Amino acid sequence: MTAQRSIWTMVLACAVILAVTTGLRLSLGLFVQPLAQTGLGIATVSLVFAVGQFCWGATQPLFGALSERIGTAQVLILGAVLLAGGLALAPILPGTWGLMLTLGILAAGGAGAGSFAILIGGTAQRIPFEKRAWAGGLINAGGSIGQLVLAPLTQAAITAAGWANALSLLAAIALGSAALAVPAAGGARPAVAHQRAGRDSRLSTMMRTAFADRSYWLVHAAFFTCGFHIAFLATHLPGEVALCGLPEPAGARALSLIGLMNIAGTVGVGWLGGRFRFKGLLVALYASRAVAIIGYLMAPKTLLTVYVFAAVLGVSWLATVPPTAGLVGKLFGTRHLATLFGLTLLSHQIGAFFGAWLGGVAMALSGSYLWVWYLDMGLALLAAVANLPIRESSPTRAPVPAAA
């Protein structure tokens, strides 16, 4: 009973931290228009957010490796401080390079330190195999709850107090998440044995094995397209709603609806992950995105259309994370999951860079997001196809070098 309660405490603490880091990060798209109106222009602001998308991914394998050396709690506290500092400093340094530093590097890096790779990687080492998909789904649902709550809160703060004060409010929320770092870490040592026990567990050996395996590269390719999709929508969906002539709050409501529906999506996929192959779930999730985009482009642009579109997308929004992490864990075990999945998230965020940036470029050049919608749809189909040949069995390990 005590062990079960400890697992619940750890999972819930991780879910709340992810609610903060993901909810804040995915609500920053609401600042695109206010920042663009300060004279920076939408292309410049989109580039700042694109850099932030990349930095969020680039820091995750680094913080994942750091957490394996100094501990998960310490990394989570560091992340909360960086995220809060970046958000708080952004109104003080509102120019292009100032926003690059604050929102693009500090805040994004801090969010990365309290995100999927560290949280899911850390808990996977402390939870029995049969409960990992369930735990990953619940933690992932925290990110959706954060988006559901923080998107309308952010919009209300911007409307009532301006974008600068809204960022200060978000900074205070980010700093408060540091209080959950210790329970989220789940103790100093893993409660369950690492998979592949008895094998060489050096990170360099595991990375050579991973990069020699085709399935790992296919996971990266599919997750690249996922990053493009989410960053494009998180950054530019409010602008798309405005472009359709719909009321300004509809953008925040659409983001909240995505978060609401993704609670069911992530928990459902976490449950299904214990019963079906991960790659089959990913094929279905990516294909559903392409179908949703086709339906949206063909439908009249009304509030009902936008909300239905957001609801359908929400089911798959972050639901790709548990099966993707599960695939990496199946292939290579959990000893270095925070680092190996962090590298997969780096691929995700390279895609996110292009999703956030090209959305702004398209809008600046053509006044429309249409060709980016087509690109997003094509990438979703490619991601579905890329998952088909992935092997879920463990790859053959590379020979261990002889000791010097």
CATH label of the domain that carries residue 100: 1.20.1250.20
Structure tokens at 252: 């925040």
Q: Rounded to whole angstroms, what are the CA distances from 215 to 133, 295, 324, 378, 394? A: 20, 31, 11, 21, 10
Q: Given this model, what pLDDT does residue 175 score?
A: 94
What total of structural domains would you count in the chain? 1
319 three-state secondary structure? coil
**Does residue 394 sit within a domain?**
no
- Position 378 scores a pLDDT of 95
Whether 279 contacts 262, CB under 8 Å: no
Report the C-alpha gap between 146 and 157 in whole angstroms.
16
Token pair in block for residue 331:
């292939």
Cα gap 174→251, rounded to integer Å: 23
DSSP state letter for 402? P
Question: Which pLDDT value is given to residue 201?
Answer: 55
Residue 130: what pLDDT? 63
Beta strands in 163-206 (DSSP E): none
Q: Is residue 392 part of a domain?
A: no
pLDDT of residue 286: 95
Cβ atoms of 311 and 339 within 8 Å: the answer is no
Q: What is the pLDDT of residue 168?
A: 93
Residue 403 belongs to some domain of the structure = no
The Cα–Cα gap between 113 and 166 comes to 22
Instruction: Identify the domain containing residue 60 by its residue range.
Output: 7-187+204-387
Angle at the Cα of 346 from the Cα atoms of 343 and 350, rounded to 5 degrees: 150
Contacts of 8 (CB under 8 A, 6+ apart): none
Rounded to whole angstroms, how far apart are CA atoms 345 and 27? 19
Q: Within the chain, which residues score under 50 in pLDDT? A: 1, 188-200, 394-404
| Assigned domain for 194 exists | no
> Residue 76 has what pLDDT?
92
Q: How many Cβ atoms sit within 10 Å of the Cβ of residue 399? A: 9
Q: Is-above-0.85 flag for pTM?
A: no
Helix and strand numbers (H, E) in the chain are: 18, 0
Query: Is 400 inside any structural domain?
Result: no
Contact criterion met (CB below 8 Å) for 358 and 43: no
Is 229 a member of any domain? yes
Query: Does 2 reside within a domain?
Result: no
Residue from 319, 369, 371 nearest 140 by CA: 319
